[in-house]
Every structure is written in C-alpha cells, then in structure tokens.
Amino acid sequence: MFTLPQKNGIEHLPGANWLMAALFTIHYIYRALLAPLLLNPSMSPIHIVFWILAFTFQICNATCIGGWLAGYGPTTTDDWAGHVYAIEVGMMIFGAGLLGNIYHDDELREIRRAAARNQKKKKQQALKEGDETSAEGIDKIYMMPQNGLFNLVLYPHYLCEWIEWSGWWMIGGFNCTPARCFLINEITAMVPRALHGKQWYVEKFGKDRVGNRKAVIPGIL
C-alpha cells in the first residue's frame, strides 16, 4: 500500500481499505512472527525448494493485495457505499476463523509439548537405569489430537483459515479479485496436504483410531 500511492496519497484512502490491510497484517503477525518465533515448541525442517515457492507466492500475493488496496480497487467512501453489512459480517467471519485457527494450532502445540515431555521422561528413565543405548534410541512420540473440531476432521486449522479468508473476501466484495484468488490458492494448495496428512494418520494410528474423521471438511472431504 505504501509503494503504490495515488496522486492524493494513501492517507486519503477509505477506512475499509485500511481495515482490510489491518486484518491481513494481524493474520501474518500471528502466522509469520508469533507462531514460529515464540509459540511453536518445535518446527519440522522445510526443503529449500518449498521455502522458495512459499516465499515467491507471498511476495506476489502481497503485491496484488497491496496494489488493490492502494489504488486499483475502491479509493473513495462512495465506492464502499451499501457495503456496510457485508463488512460487518465479513469481520465476524474473519474473527471466528482467526480464533479457530489459533485454538486448533495451540492444540497441536500442546500435543508437541506433551510428546516432548513424555520423550524426555522416557530418556531420563532409561539413563537412570543405566541403559544409554535405549535412551538414545527413543523415537519421537506422536499423539492423536482430540479437542475442538479435531473430533470431526484432522486438519481443522486449515478449515478455519479458509473461513478466515472467506470473511476477508466478503469484506472486500465479490469483485475483490486478489482476495478471491488468495482463497482459491489456499484451498487448492492445502486440500492435497490434508488428504496426504490423513493417510499419514491412518498409517500411524490405524483406521480405528482415525474413525470417521474427514481430512478437512466435516462429513465431506
């Protein structure tokens, strides 16, 4: 938004533009800063190719969104006329999705903490018994998430993120192409990961433990 100012400057942009920018920023403060740097007890390594692809997508996505908010989209209060209720409903949907995303992320974080504690306890017990070989050979412990929407799907944090960005798209309106493309890209990228992840759960815990849980959409997928 600060690199594509109109002749009058971005300070004259409508409040709705700044609202969408603020919500976008809030999400990524959580996702890109707080979660990996402060909240997550551990993180799996990522291949450099996937990191480059993710980085490239985020640059392109942010450029499209910033350009739309800074001048290529609505630039006056009149452009947002009659859109008040959609903005209010969209904010509620965005907020519900963000809170659900954080909640289910924290459920996974707590599982990692509990698994790490159990692993550490087993290692300490093995060392106490003088069995250093067993202590070194203790594998990472995996646990099945149970709370919240984890009773219905295995990747509710994905679903909540889609809900979040659906609300954001509603705020911008159906003609907000960057928001629509962002949501579509997220869904198309995350559905295969969720389906592959379900296979991992079945292989790790068995069909009986997984039960009737779907991958990402309750009762459907």
Angle between the N-to-C axes of helices 84-128 and 15-28, in degrees from 0 to 180, rounded to the nearest 10: 10
**Residue 136 is encoded by which pair of tokens?**
């070194």
User: Whole-angstrom Cα distance, residue 112 to residue 120?
Assistant: 12
d(CA 40, CA 108): 9
Task: Give me the pLDDT at residue 7, please.
Answer: 58
According to the model, what pLDDT value does residue 50 have? 85
Q: Mind listing the pLDDT tens digit for each residue in 194-203?
A: 999 999 999 9
pTM of the entire structure? 0.86
pLDDT of residue 138: 47
As a whole number of angstroms, the distance between CA 123 and CA 139 comes to 10
Percent of the chain scoring above 90 in pLDDT: 67
Q: Which sequence spans correspond to the domains of the chain?
A: 10-210
d(CA 32, CA 62): 14
Q: What is the pLDDT of residues 94-115, one digit of tens each?
A: 999 999 999 999 999 998 888 7
Environment class of 96 (CB within 10 Å of its CB; exposed 0-12, middle 13-18, buried 19+): middle
- The pLDDT of residue 30: 95
Checking if the pLDDT of 132 tops 70, the result is no
| Poorest-pLDDT segment among 22-36, 60-74, 75-89, 105-119 | 105-119
- Three-class SS of residue 153? strand
Does residue 214 sit in helix, strand or coil? strand
pLDDT of residue 118: 76
Tens of pLDDT, residue by residue over 175-219, are: 999 999 999 999 999 999 999 999 999 999 999 999 999 999 999
